[in-house]
Structures are given as C-alpha cells and as structure tokens.
Amino acid sequence: MLPTAAAGWTRTDSVAVFVGKDLYLLVDGGADLFFEYGFVRALTSEYSHRPDASAAIELYEMNSPSAAYGLFTSFTVGTGIAVQVGQEAVLGKGYCIFWKGPHVGMLTTGSVDSASGQMLLQLAGELEKQIHQTGPLPGLCALLREGGLESRRMVYVRGKLALGNHFPHAWAKTLPPADGVVGEDHESRYLILEYADAAAAEAALRAAAVEWEKLQLPIAQDSGGKWTIQLNKEGLARLEQEERYVLAVSGGREQSEALASLLRGILAE
C-alpha cells in the first residue's frame, strides 16, 4: 500500500510491518491509545524528494472506519488546517494526517517551509489513492455536525485513555467507559457518552454519582435528576441523562446552560 514512487517522491527504505504488540516498537509510550481505538497493523517507510527533502509515512489500519476516525480526531483536534486528502485531513508544520475508511495516514518531514508542505500534501494524496475503502462517520459525530457543532473541535473517544487526554476531569473518569464525543463550543466544553440504551445510561450516571461522593466533590442534584458539580468560583459542570446518552457540559453558568440546551435538542432528534 506504500507506493515505490509518487509525485516526485521515491521510497528509500523497505516497508516495515507492525502487528499486535509490535506496535510498542513503533509508538513508544503511546501505543495503548491505538489499542483502545482498535489497532490492527501499521506500515512504515521513508521517502526522499530531490534535491534534499525527506519524509516518513506511517499508515495505521484500524478495525473499523469509526476507530480510524477516532484516532484521527485524537491527533488532529485544534491543529493545522483542513485539506482535501482522503475523507478528511489536516496539514500542519512538518506533518499531514488523514483519515480514509479504516486507515489513518501520518506523514512527517523535517522541513517546515511552504514548498515542503505542498510536497508532503502531494505525497499524502498519492498514498490515499492506494486505499480503496471509505466509511461513514460515527453516528453521534454525524448528528452533532448536522446540529451545527464544529467538527474540528470535537474528538471521538473510545475509552478512558482518550477521555483522559481530552477531558481530564476526575468526575468524568468515574463514568463507565463508552463511545462518545468530547468537544468545545466557544468557552464551554462538552462530553457525550453513548450507552446501549436508556437503562444503561441511567445506571452509568448512578454509578458515577457514588464515586463523586467518595471523592467528596461539591455536587448537587435537582428535582429533575440533573447533577451540578462546582468546579471553581465561576465554573461548573452539569450532567444529565438524555435517553441513551449521558451529557456533561462544563464552563460558565450561562454559557454551559445554553450549550446544554442546544445539545439536548440535537440528541432528541
């Protein structure tokens, strides 16, 4: 899947293949996140472009398009600029990352000028042509996009590692693991976890509340079953169940309530 030559680039090394636990040899200290999303295998090689440009390609195969999209968002949220490679891509200083079907391509170069960026983009374009599979967005992500939430500020999470990386609150870590989305909207942040059904979501919130008591968090529950956690003098977190979802919003009181109202409407559709 890694071309021998493309867009003026020439492959200068053999293709290394990493399967299963071999990933620890490639991704030192960060492989567990890949496994949490659903890692299958990785292909890597080196490329050169005359007169003196070089690049490295890492192509990750995940167990589903949703897993690949999640890994892509985890690495690219809030970075670079969106470019047209694969199904979605981001180009930054010295790197290009794209998602297509069950694959995530990560290309890096030591050069960071405008010419090298365009050259790296061309190599990424040739690489994605070798990938013939595409796949849909995770349903929750598609729903939030349709509701007007900014896709470049959301991460699709699949477990506690990704959640901890992008939403590092002690109270959030107490929620039972589930697929979901972490995102930002203006000055507020939100977390939505999707459980199997409403009963599972209710049980998850109830189990988390027991842990909040143990952590001695400043919490309160209103008559409608919604929880409030005081984060600091001005900020708070609001948590509630919306059918099979657990919805949490943190930030200033007015901003977080407005965002929670928007998200309730989206999730009810």
The candidate with the shortest Cα–Cα distance to 160, out of 150, 174, 149, is 174
pLDDT at 130 over 80: yes
pLDDT at 236 over 90: no
| Lookup: tokens for 2 | 């890694």
Q: Which distant-in-sequence residues (6+ apart) come within 8 Å of 235 by Cβ?
A: 250, 251, 252
How far apart (Å, rounded) are the C-alpha atoms in residues 216 and 219? 8
DSSP conformational letter for 133: -
How far apart (Å, rounded) are the C-alpha atoms in residues 193 and 157? 9
How far apart (Å, rounded) are the C-alpha atoms in residues 259 and 261? 5
Please state which of the ranges 28-42, 111-125, 176-190 shows the lowest mean pLDDT.
111-125
pLDDT in tens, 50-68: 888 899 999 999 999 999 9
The candidate with the shortest Cα–Cα distance to 43, out of 30, 56, 29, 28, is 56
Q: Quick one: pLDDT at residue 127? A: 96
How far apart (Å, rounded) are the C-alpha atoms in residues 4 and 132? 18
Please state which of the ranges 61-65, 111-115, 178-182, 200-204 shows the lowest mean pLDDT.
111-115
114 falls in which pLDDT band (50, 70, 90)? low
For the chain, residues classed under CATH 3.40.1000 are 5-129, 139-267
pLDDT in tens, 221-234: 998 889 998 877 66
Report the half-sphere exposure of 149 (CA within 13 A, side-chain side).
29
pLDDT at 10 over 80: yes
Residue 147: alpha-carbon gap to chain centroid = 19
**Which percentage of the chain shows pLDDT scores above 90?**
80
Q: Quick one: pLDDT at residue 100? A: 98
| Greatest Cα-to-Cα distance within the chain, rounded to the nearest angstrom | 70
pLDDT at 125 over 80: yes
| The CATH number fitting domain 139-267, selected from 1.10.3470, 3.40.50, 3.40.1000, 1.10.150 | 3.40.1000
189 pairs with which residues across the strands?
Answer: 184, 250
pLDDT at 254 over 90: no
pLDDT at 113 over 80: no
DSSP conformational letter for 176: P
Give whole-number Cα distances, 129 to 24, 50, 87, in Å. Answer: 28, 22, 11
Q: What is the pTM of this model?
A: 0.94
Is residue 72 within 8 A of residue 33, CB to CB? The reply is no
Is the domain spanning 5-129 CATH 3.40.1000? The answer is yes
Is residue 2 within 8 A of residue 45, CB to CB? The reply is yes
Q: Which distant-in-sequence residues (6+ apart) come within 8 Å of 56 by Cβ?
A: 44, 45, 46, 47, 107, 108, 109
48 falls in which pLDDT band (50, 70, 90)? very high
Is residue 87 within 8 A of residue 102, CB to CB? The reply is no
pLDDT at 169 over 70: yes
Q: Quick one: pLDDT at residue 225? A: 86
Is residue 30 within 8 A of residue 59, CB to CB? The reply is no
